């Protein structure tokens, strides 16, 4: 499949449909995002679900795509994306973090094995050029166990999990949708600076709530966590709830506005949702 993708990318580049290709490159056994400008370079192109393509660059808090766009406002960029990355692009465009007009999406679907590994519910982009749309993973072993338990057991579980936190901010830094200029997780107001573990569950609650309508379930937070805190468990469940309450899913359509930004008339809630 990767050979097909290389061929396709070369065609895009040669025909002038795009001027550069943005994707992962393998060099000296290391994978990193790269801007391909020459056809020969594309031989080292790879696709891997283990390595993210987009991230928010610090300290500018701008997505890498935005930085490319700012530096070269007139070039057409072909971006090789997996399902999660396409959702990130769409969600970023929706929130005015990037512009889609110069972006050409080359979508690649992941295999079922890769989806299982990532716990991905939608391992394919909207219009995959390569690969088949396979079924995603919806269940999560943590939440299934927790939903059958009482409040105190759930609290005890999260207290033991979250107290492992070393406050490295890895979850936030890895998240493609964490782009706030002033991150609430860094503010003394909400969580004391210089304390480990941070206030539980306040510190993590900030992310869970702020990502409620943004999370695209790429799982980068959980992959980045050095202490293996199951952060995706709650984000996954909240995303499910947002879908049930507001019939909204993030990252599928640029035109679909987040329910937290609209009134009840435009995006009515299900009856009894308040109870």
Partner 1 sequence: MKEFEPKIIGFCCNWCTYAGADLAGVSRLQMPPDFRMIRVMCSGTIDPLFVMEAFQKGADGIFIGGCHIGDCHYQTGNHRTKKRVAILKKILSYLGIDPRRVRLEWVSAAEGQKFAEVVTDFVAEIKRLGPNPLKRKFEA
Residues near partner 1 (CB under 8 A): 143, 146, 151-159, 184, 190, 199, 201-202, 205-206, 208-209, 212-213, 233-234, 237-238, 241-242, 245-246, 259-260, 262-265, 269, 273-274
C-alpha span between 39 and 67 (Å, rounded): 23
Nearer to partner 1, 213 or 249 (CB): 213
- Whether the Cβ atoms of residue 63 and residue 98 lie closer than 8 Å to each other: yes
Nearer to partner 1, 6 or 154 (CB): 154
Shortest spacing between CB 184 and partner 1, in angstroms: 7
Shortest spacing between CB 262 and partner 1, in angstroms: 8
Shortest spacing between CB 201 and partner 1, in angstroms: 5
- Whether the Cβ atoms of residue 22 and residue 78 lie closer than 8 Å to each other: yes
- Going by the DSSP 8-state scheme, the letter that residue 130 receives in this structure is B
Shortest spacing between CB 151 and partner 1, in angstroms: 5
Nearer to partner 1, 33 or 268 (CB): 268
Q: Are strands 45-46 and 77-81 parallel, antiparallel or unpaired?
A: unpaired
How many other C-beta atoms can be found within 10 angstroms of the C-beta atom of residue 9? Answer: 21
Nearer to partner 1, 13 or 234 (CB): 234
Shortest spacing between CB 203 and partner 1, in angstroms: 10
Nearer to partner 1, 74 or 265 (CB): 265
Q: Six-digit token pair at 115? A: 């989806």
- Whether the Cβ atoms of residue 231 and residue 143 lie closer than 8 Å to each other: no
- Whether the Cβ atoms of residue 238 and residue 212 lie closer than 8 Å to each other: yes
Shortest spacing between CB 191 and partner 1, in angstroms: 9
- Going by the DSSP 8-state scheme, the letter that residue 233 receives in this structure is H
Shortest spacing between CB 170 and partner 1, in angstroms: 20
Nearer to partner 1, 115 or 229 (CB): 229
Nearer to partner 1, 35 or 245 (CB): 245
Beta bridge partners of 25: 32, 45
Cα angle value 160/242/232 (rounded, 5°): 30
C-alpha span between 248 and 236 (Å, rounded): 14
Helix axes 231-246, 202-210, angle to 10 degrees: 40
């Amino acid at each position: 499949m990767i050979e097909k993708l290389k061929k396709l990318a070369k065609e895009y580049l040669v025909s002038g449909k795009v001027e550069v290709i943005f994707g992962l490159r393998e060099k000296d056994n290391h994978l990193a995002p790269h801007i391909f400008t020459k056809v020969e370079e594309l031989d080292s192109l790879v696709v891997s679900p283990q390595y993210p393509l987009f991230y928010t660059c610090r300290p500018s808090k701008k997505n890498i795509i935005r930085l490319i766009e700012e530096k070269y406002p007139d070039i057409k960029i072909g971006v090789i994306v997996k399902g999660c990355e396409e959702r990130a692009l769409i969600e970023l465009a929706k929130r005015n973090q990037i512009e889609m007009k110069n972006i050409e999406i080359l979508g690649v679907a992941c295999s079922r094995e890769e989806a299982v590994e990532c716990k991905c519910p939608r391992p394919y982009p909207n219009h995959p050029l390569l690969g088949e749309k396979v079924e995603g993973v919806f269940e999560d072993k943590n939440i299934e166990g927790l939903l059958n338990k009482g409040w105190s057991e759930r609290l005890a579980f999260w207290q033991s999990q979250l107290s492992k936190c070393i406050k490295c901010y890895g979850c936030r830094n890895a998240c493609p949708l964490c782009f706030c200029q002033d991150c609430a997780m860094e503010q003394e107001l909400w969580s004391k600076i210089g304390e480990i573990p941070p206030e539980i569950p306040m510190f993590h609650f900030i992310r869970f709530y702020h990502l409620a309508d943004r999370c695209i379930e790429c799982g980068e937070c959980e992959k980045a966590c050095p202490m293996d805190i199951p952060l995706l468990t709650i984000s996954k469940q909240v995303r499910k709830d947002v879908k049930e309450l507001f019939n909204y899913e993030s990252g599928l359509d640029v035109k679909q506005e987040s329910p937290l930004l609209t009134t009840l008339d435009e995006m009515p809630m299900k009856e009894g949702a308040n109870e």
